[in-house]
Amino acid sequence: MSGNGEDTHALLTDFYQLTMAYGYWKAGKSNDDAVFNLFFRRAPFRGGYVISAGLEQVVDYIRHYSFSRRELYYLESLQSSSRHDIFDSEFLDYLKELRLSCDIDALPEGMAAFPGEPMLQVRGPLLQCQLLESALLNIVNYQSLIATKAARICVAARGPVVEFGLRRAPGPNGAMSASRAAYIGGCVGTSNVLAGQRFGIPVKGTHGHSWVMAFDSEAESFDAFAAAQPDDCILLVDTYDTPAGIEHAARVGEAMRRRGLRLAGIRLDSGDLAVLSRQAREILDRHGLIDCRIVAGNELDEYEITRLRRAGAAIDLWGVGTRLVTGCGDSALSGVYKMSAMRSPGGDWSYKLKVTSDPDKMTCGGMPRIRRYTVNNLYWGDMIYDEQLGAGDKMILPDDTTVAIPGESSGEDLLLPIFRNGKLVYELPRLERIRERTVSELCRLPEELLVPEPSVVYPVGRDGSCLALNRRLSMKYRSGNANPA
């Protein structure tokens, strides 16, 4: 998603959303009120948290949502297997005039989220809520996945990380979303120039092996690149023989220093990065280039970076591409979008939930909200409570343990109003501010939760009245009562 309305299409949806919307319209249920929640079932990468991302693109999508003439012509052309029009012309006229009037609350970008907690809550006409499902999941699932991967990599690196994933990202739009999300997750820059222009992300880069091979010698190529880029010169030293390449780069650095310039760094992109980086540090220091940074790439992620750091690698800046933008380890965030309440216009709310033998797929009925409790500036735990029932002073964890909210804690409700009756009421923060929020969030989480495979689980419980209500609903639905009180 571009962030400028360029990729906002009402047909960016699954076909069954349109057939359901048509069915609601024919059944006279289009304007029934509904509540839907977007949440994920488990944290990706065997980790303990998710960094929320994608809200700005959600806002962009909602603000520009409409069915264009071309899109309506396409829907008009669709026919069933018996060659009947799938959609009545009156329904297409309805879509032509459709303007969203939903209320949307959301977790701000850059905040930590945990399984079962609503990241988005959509409330409004049933037909509208249904039409939004696929696009919202597409935006939030991917960007949150990549922001989380980036956060894990940056925590492991304990130093600057640059996203280099354009050539391996899932298509042009995926590359743009990945660059934005990686910056939210903590990366200091991107190689993606269009992302730099569109989102204001710092752009970073060196040169490729082809540059070195275009000259008669590696030394000549380095001299030429230093002449072309004297201020931010980083030399790729592993085209031929890496130790010799480091020596060639060091001599270029000495020559630059004599002219009052500085070699910014060298880059390693293959081989044993722990051994080569230590060797590079020794060579550079011997030539007096103690401020020359060592940049490393080559199939890095949080696990490999952790291994390299433990092996004593002398790496100052990490370039991460493939395993970041592809969400290596988890191909998708397990985000879902489920109805939790419904009512006829002016009527009472009827709480809805999905009942299943798989406990991981049970949903929360009603109007769930999230309250996060902080003790001594560190996050203590989150309570999911029902908006109509309110929050008590205790919460029940998934193992049925009841814990009291600490008296010295402060509680903050996390879902913020974004749209009211289809109108934007939220001021979107700058991307840099979102990135700063991510850094702050990670500092407030338990350190044990930040390792690649944490052995602890962040406490997320339900208010007792909310949990009791959902258990009663579950029993009634299981008994065959399709409309429990």
Provide the pLDDT for residue 360: 62
| Torsion sign (Cα): 442, 443, 446, 451 | positive
What tens digit of pLDDT does each residue of 113-124 get?
Answer: 999 999 999 999
What tens digit of pLDDT does each residue of 412-429 get?
Answer: 999 999 999 999 999 999
Give the whole-angstrom CA distance, residue 452 versus residue 449.
8
Give the whole-angstrom CA distance, residue 364 versus residue 132.
20
Looking at every residue in the chain, the average pLDDT score rounds to 93
Q: Which of 370, 371, 359 is nearest to 39 (CA)?
A: 370
Is the pTM for the entire model greater than 0.75?
yes
* CB of 269 closer than 8 Å to CB of 317: no
Provide the pLDDT for residue 480: 63
What tens digit of pLDDT does each residue of 211-250 get?
Answer: 999 999 999 999 999 999 999 999 999 999 999 999 999 9
Mean pLDDT across the stretch 428-433? 97
Fold (CATH) for 15-65+100-147+332-478? nicotinate phosphoribosyltransferase (3.20.140)
Provide the pLDDT for residue 9: 87
- CA dist list (Å): 56 to 107, 341, 416, 434: 11, 26, 14, 11
What tens digit of pLDDT does each residue of 41-68 get?
Answer: 999 999 999 999 999 999 999 999 999 9
What tens digit of pLDDT does each residue of 63-79 get?
Answer: 999 999 999 999 999 99
- Checking if the pLDDT of 156 tops 50, the result is yes
Integer distance in angstroms from the first to the last C-alpha of the chain? Answer: 41
Residue 184 carries which DSSP code?
H
* 3-class DSSP assignment, residue 60: helix
CATH class of 158-325: alpha beta
Provide the pLDDT for residue 467: 84
Question: Looking up tokens 């962009």, which residue turns up?
Answer: 60
Provide the pLDDT for residue 359: 59
What tens digit of pLDDT does each residue of 164-188 get?
Answer: 999 999 999 999 999 999 999 999 9
Provide the pLDDT for residue 465: 87
User: pLDDT grade, residue 464 (50/70/90)?
Assistant: confident
DSSP 61-86: HHHT----HHHHHHHHH-B-TTS-BS
Provide the pLDDT for residue 97: 97
What tens digit of pLDDT does each residue of 195-212 get?
Answer: 999 999 999 999 999 999
Domain boundaries, the chain: 15-65+100-147+332-478, 158-325
Provide the pLDDT for residue 2: 44
* % of the chain at pLDDT higher than 90: 89
Say how many CA atoms lie within 13 Å of 157 toward its Cβ: 26
Provide the pLDDT for residue 5: 45
